Amino acid sequence: MSQKVVLAFSGGLDTSFCVKYLSEDRGMDVYSVLVDTGGFSDAELKAIEERAYSLGVKSHVTISKTDDYYQQCLKFLVFGNVLKNNTYPLSVSAERIFQAIAAAEYAREIGASAIAHGSTGAGNDQVRFDMAFRIIAPDAEVITPIRDLKLSREAEIEYLKAKGVDQEWHKAAYSINKGLWGTSVGGKETLTSDQFLPESAWPTQVTKTEPETITLTFQHGEIKAIAGPTFGDEKFANPVDAIRKLTELAGPYGIGRDIHVGDTIIGIKGRVGFEAPAPLILIKSHHTLEKHVLGKWQLYWKEQLANWYGTMLHEGQFMDPVMRNIETFLADSQAHVSGKVHVLLAPYRFQVLGIESDHDLMSSKFGSYGEMNNAWTGDDVRGFSKVASNQVMIYEKINNQ
């Protein structure tokens, strides 16, 4: 009886090689699985399924995880205003670990004795997949043909040609990974430290030139409605649909483009381009609302814990139980994060204009900053300042005689 192996399959060159290698060279029954976290159209999913069967898989399934991806991960990235190195919304980092978990759960469900992925030995994804497989299906053999055989792209193409798979495998100038939480863009410029991606490299071209002001409505930290002069006021029962709407509105302005420079899990620096209009607008709008409705120590501790949460997620540690503890804290902090945020969209930029909220702590009842106070006297402040400076005053007197 042939050994059953689950292959995390995308339909590209690497995973196509894996199907042929595992089924024909190693004589295994390949069960391919594609985990959709919001980055594929129905037509693309159908084409990938057909490709899997044409390559010789015994079975192919598509697992939809988009709603789980939002509920179990993305909403906490918004609650925490998570931008890796103050730049990157973890578009691929978050997506990959969810795909790896789903593939491992599927392997356990069908009783596969092995799980495979097509990662090379050069990036972050190999670690994310390996960790998820080992945690969820610790008894399964993990097979990584591209990494283990140290194959070049050219070697993979020649192998597939010899197996009768002669497709147009020519390498595009830029590698694109599209997802619900943003699209990554890699090319020759991102392999340098000094060059930016050219206009033609971005998947979404600029077609909007007239500025537009939209209003985002948040309820307990989650996006629930978007209003604008050209489409009215749209309410969303599912925030996933709001993310898609915001991407549709802001993407054609060229909003959300940047290059992230960061530390990989394996210890080297890397650069990747990305366009993520919805995540960047949501995070900046949400953060502005929070600055109005939360206290300073709430904001402080949220920032510390959320940055750490983002790093753990990026490095494949999503399943560590401490992540659930941090999510509980982040969710609890959103009790009063409700209101409207007004945002200007324009070519290549957006600007958060202001907020409206019943929980706005910037209330004129208690005073106007730099102008008028209503809740204290000058003597109150004089006494407060004396006590607040007392410890450092004593230190200076003793140590600077």
Per-residue pLDDT, 194: 97
Over the chain, what is the mean pLDDT?
A: 95
Look at residue 44 and tell me whether its pLDDT is greater than 90.
yes
Instruction: Measure the CA–CA gap between 218 and 334, rounded to whole angstroms.
Output: 10
- 197 and 276, same structural domain? yes
Instruction: Measure the CA–CA gap between 84 and 91, rounded to whole angstroms.
Output: 10
- 348 and 224, same structural domain? yes
Per-residue pLDDT, 394: 93
Residue in 95, 82, 47 with CA at minimum distance from that of residue 280: 82
DSSP one-letter string for 150-181: T--HHHHHHHHHHTT-----PPPSSEEEEETT
Confidence band of 22 (pLDDT split at 50, 70, 90): very high
Hunting for tokens 């995390």 — which residue is that?
Answer: 8
Return the structure tokens found at 187.
């090319």
Look at residue 162 and tell me whether its pLDDT is greater than 90.
yes
Q: Out of 144, 171, 198, pick the residue that ends a domain.
A: 171
Average pLDDT over residues 121-148: 95
- 388 and 257, same structural domain? no
List of residues 6+ apart from 282 with CB closer than 8 A: 78, 216, 223, 243, 246
Burial (0-12, 13-18, 19+ Cβ within 10 Å), 21:
buried
Confidence band of 371 (pLDDT split at 50, 70, 90): low
Helix, strand or coil, per DSSP, at residue 15 = helix
- 202 and 153, same structural domain? no
Instruction: Measure the CA–CA gap between 331 and 221, rounded to whole angstroms.
Output: 8
Asked if 184 contacts 164 with a C-beta cutoff of 8 angstroms, the reply is: no
- 251 and 195, same structural domain? yes
- 135 and 30, same structural domain? yes
- 204 and 151, same structural domain? no
Helices (H), 252-401: 277-293, 296-314, 322-332, 378-388, 390-399
- 167 and 84, same structural domain? yes
Confidence band of 374 (pLDDT split at 50, 70, 90): confident
H-run or E-run covering 93:
helix 91-110
Instruction: For residue 45, tell me if it sits in a domain.
Output: yes
What Rg, from alpha-carbon coordinates, does the chain have?
Answer: 25
Q: Which residues pair with 226 in a beta bridge?
A: 216, 234
Look at residue 389 and tell me whether its pLDDT is greater than 90.
yes
Look at residue 270 and tell me whether its pLDDT is greater than 90.
yes
Return the structure tokens found at 280.
């960047």
Asked if 255 contacts 167 with a C-beta cutoff of 8 angstroms, the reply is: no
Average pLDDT over residues 251-274: 95
Residue in 54, 57, 51 with CA at minimum distance from that of residue 23: 57
Asked if 203 contacts 91 with a C-beta cutoff of 8 angstroms, the reply is: no
- 193 and 140, same structural domain? no
Asked if 121 contacts 35 with a C-beta cutoff of 8 angstroms, the reply is: no
Least confident of 74-83, 147-156, 300-309, 368-377: 368-377
Average pLDDT over residues 358-364: 89
- 198 and 155, same structural domain? no
Confidence band of 372 (pLDDT split at 50, 70, 90): low
Query: Looking at residue 56, what DSSP letter applies?
Result: T
Least confident of 20-24, 100-104, 214-218, 367-371: 367-371
Per-residue pLDDT, 26: 96
Per DSSP bridges, beta strands 232-235 and 257-263 are unpaired
Per-residue pLDDT, 89: 97
| Domain at 259, CATH number | 3.90.1260.10
- 159 and 41, same structural domain? yes
- 262 and 181, same structural domain? yes
pLDDT in tens, 174-204: 999 999 999 999 999 999 999 999 999 999 9
Confidence band of 278 (pLDDT split at 50, 70, 90): very high
Per-residue pLDDT, 367: 58
Look at residue 376 and tell me whether its pLDDT is greater than 90.
no
Q: Which residues pair with 59 in a beta bridge?
A: 31
Residue in 256, 78, 232 with CA at minimum distance from that of residue 182: 256
Domain span at residue 122 reads 4-171
pLDDT in tens, 166-175: 887 777 789 9
When divided into structural domains, the chain yields a total of: 3
The whole-angstrom distance between residue 245's C-alpha and the CA centroid of its chain comes to 17
Per-residue pLDDT, 161: 93
Instruction: For residue 306, tell me if it sits in a domain.
Output: no
Q: Out of 171, 196, 214, pick the residue that ends a domain.
A: 171
Helix, strand or coil, per DSSP, at residue 35 = strand
Look at residue 377 and tell me whether its pLDDT is greater than 80.
yes
Per-residue pLDDT, 366: 66
Average pLDDT over residues 229-257: 97
Is the pTM here over 0.85, yes or no? Answer: yes
Per-residue pLDDT, 260: 97
Average pLDDT over residues 42-61: 96
Instruction: Measure the CA–CA gap between 142 and 112, rounded to whole angstroms.
Output: 11
